Amino acid sequence: MIIETTVGLIDDSELEKREGVIDNENEYSTWVEYWQHGVLVHRSASVGLKKGLDALGAVGSVG
């Protein structure tokens, strides 16, 4: 697979791949890095939000 990097397009067989996951109550996220000779040349991330924001509506009593 060809990877977009800071030094152009490179086949992933020539790169070291590192991956990670963040999983908590707010998000499930993944990231992938490609390194060449100890230098980071590509990093992508996908963040999946698990929930949004609440606004509470309320009405007052009359009388």
Partner 1 sequence: MANTQAMCSSFKGELLTGIHALGPGTGVPARVAATSDTVKAALYVATATLDASTTVYSATGEATNGSGAGYTAGGITVTQATAPSTSGTTGIYTPTATFQWTSFTSAAAFDTVFLYNSSQSNKAISVHTFGSQSITAGTFQLTMPAHAASTALIRIA
Q: How far apart are CA 12 and CA 25, in angstroms?
A: 33
Does position 55 interact with partner 1 (CB under 8 A)? The reply is yes
Among 2, 5, 15, 17, the residue binding partner 1 under the rule CB under 8 A is 5
Does position 1 interact with partner 1 (CB under 8 A)? The reply is no
Among 13, 19, 52, 63, the residue binding partner 1 under the rule CB under 8 A is 52
The answer to whether the CB of 30 falls within 8 A of the CB of 45 is yes
Q: How many CB atoms lie within 10 A of CB 22?
A: 13
Rule CB under 8 A: which residues touch partner 1? Answer: 4-6, 22, 24, 26-27, 29, 31-33, 40-59, 61
